[in-house]
Amino acid sequence: MQNNPAIVSVGRTKFGEHYGKKPEKLIEEAWLVASNECHLERKNLEACYLSDCFLPITNKLGLEEGFLSELTQLHVPMEVTSSVSAALLAACNAIKAGTYDTVLVGGIEKMTDRWDKIRDDLMLLEDPWSYYAGCTPEANHELMLRAYMNKYGITGDNIEKLNLALAKVAVKNHAHALKNKFAQFHRRITIEQVLSARKNARKPLGLYDFAPISDGASALILTSSSLAKKMTDHPIYVLGGSSATDFLTFPSREDLAGFSATRNAMRKALKMANLSPLDIQLAEVYDQSTVMELISLEDLGFCEKGTAWTCIRGSCEDYDGYYEVHGKKIFVNMNGGLKADGNPIGATGGAQIFEVFKQLRNEADERQVILNENPPKFGCIQELEGFGTKAYITILGDK
């Protein structure tokens, strides 16, 4: 642990529509929760790493570092990334190098401010050919579903079983969100609603298969291991963190039935943490759609390729809050996932980290995972940028 940075506190806002709140109010709310938890003052921050994806477009903020400096009244080094996981990885490297001891990592997004334009903006995350062809953010998910079915020979009655498994992912995540006070949706949904929405859309995936557009902010305080114990009795350590990339153009990728970036990043992160997928008991995966949760179970090594839908289908018959794979329980998206917790892109990864941090510290209230009378020891966060174009894997542990 001597060389591993530690998270000593976390904070976040409720996700949803915050049209009446300015971006600075949202990030300030998340920062105050995190700073109060570890009794940290702004003057003690040595650097800030902030993430957002569309803030320059939606709120006309061209230089976010200056925005953050004005907000904190600090002149320390500040950098902006496109995801919280990217910001955390940069902060971890700086702390490991001995450059800083105490860093603020945060994320913010105000997507609902521009309802008329945000759909067009989201297509900027695709390749130019798809953009000018009018490709919607949902199109690639359906293409991946078809590629998955073709690659693994899912035909006949198994197609209906696969579709039912995907519907159960949505129902499961909404059920988890009911126990999360920060979640965008506190509404139970049924299998019938998911299937009906697909039928009405005349598409393989419908309204309840996709994550929403959201506003929100998240923050965490990262310190060196030597300082962590002075700030909290229960620091959570960053045991492994890695990223990988893939082609921007989805149809040009070697594998259309999975994300090679996730697989590569996960392999490196596990090696850094000296763990295997079997050691991971808790995961927050990037479920922009129900298909992506299914695919992630395989890419992260929890399920064998082409089998995740059977694990989901079997585990969710009498759902107890986990997927069972080869007799092992894996708890996935206990906060409701992007599907129900919400997806303010620049802040989403912070909410994922928030959940794993709380679970490992046995502070997740009704959502708390207990295994053999103890909370989990290790948790994994998967965050993606674009449609699997960039993948970040972070592995947290309390020892």
* Other residues' Cβ atoms within 10 Å of the Cβ of residue 41: 7
Q: What is the pTM of this model?
A: 0.96
What amino acid is encoded at 50 in this protein? L
Average confidence score pLDDT of the chain: 92
CB 138 within 8 A of CB 153: no
Pairing of strands 378-385, 236-245: unpaired
Q: How far is 351 from 335, CA to CA, in rounded Å?
A: 9
The position carrying tokens 């620049």 is 346
| Closest residue by Cα to residue 335 from 367, 312, 376 | 367
The pLDDT of residue 74 is: 82
Give the burial class of 230: count Cβ atoms within 10 A of its Cβ; 0-12 exposed, 13-18 middle, 19 or more buried.
exposed
Running DSSP on this structure, what letter comes out for residue 327? T
Tokens of 175: 């059920």
**pLDDT tens, residue by residue, 283-322:** 999 999 999 999 999 999 999 999 999 999 887 766 667 8
Residue 1 has pLDDT above 60, yes or no: no
270 neighbors 278 (Cβ within 8 angstroms): no
Q: 191 near 336, Cβ under 8 Å?
A: no
In degrees rounded to 5, what are phi and psi of residue 397? -150, 155
Helix (H) or strand (E) holding 318: none
Look-up of token digits 């995801």: 83
Residue with structure tokens 């949904």?
Answer: 189
Separation between Cα atoms, residue 48 and residue 104, nearest integer Å: 5
Backbone angles phi, psi at 22, to 5 degrees: -75, 155
Q: Please answer whether residues 129 and 142 qualify as being in contact, where contact means their C-beta atoms are separated by less than 8 angstroms.
A: no
Amino acid at 4: N
Mean pLDDT of the 331-350 span = 97
User: What's residue 166's pLDDT?
Assistant: 96
pLDDT of amino acid 141: 94
Q: Is residue 337 over pLDDT 80?
A: yes
**How far is residue 381's CA from residue 223's CA, in Å, rounded to a whole number?**
19
Domains of the chain from N-terminus onward: 6-116+213-231 (3.40.47.10)
Q: Which of 136-145, 194-203, 248-257 has the highest mean pLDDT?
A: 194-203
Q: Which of 396, 113, 384, 148 is nearest to 262 (CA)?
A: 384
> What digits encode the pLDDT tens for the residues 147-184?
999 999 999 999 999 999 999 999 999 999 999 999 99
Considering only CA atoms, which of 333, 344, 345, 10 is closest in space to residue 180? 333
Q: Which helix (H) or strand (E) holds 218?
A: strand 215-223
110: pLDDT confidence band, cut at 50, 70 and 90? very high
- Reference 175, options 339, 292, 382; nearest CA is 339
Distance CA 279, CA 210 (A): 29
Dump the DSSP string for 19-70. TTS-HHHHHHHHHHHHHHHHT--GGG--EEEEE-SSHHHHS--S-HHHHHHH
pLDDT digits (tens, 9 = 90+) for 77-92: 889 899 999 999 999 9
pLDDT value at residue 55: 82
Residue 329: CA count within 13 A, CB half-sphere:
11
Instruction: Provide the token pair at 151.
Output: 């690659």
Q: What is the pLDDT of residue 2?
A: 58
283, 379 in Cβ contact below 8 A?
A: yes
Instruction: Residue 216: name the closest of 38, 19, 391, 65 by CA.
Output: 19
Percent of the chain with pLDDT over 90: 77
Torsion of CA 362, 365, 367, 373, to 10 degrees: 40
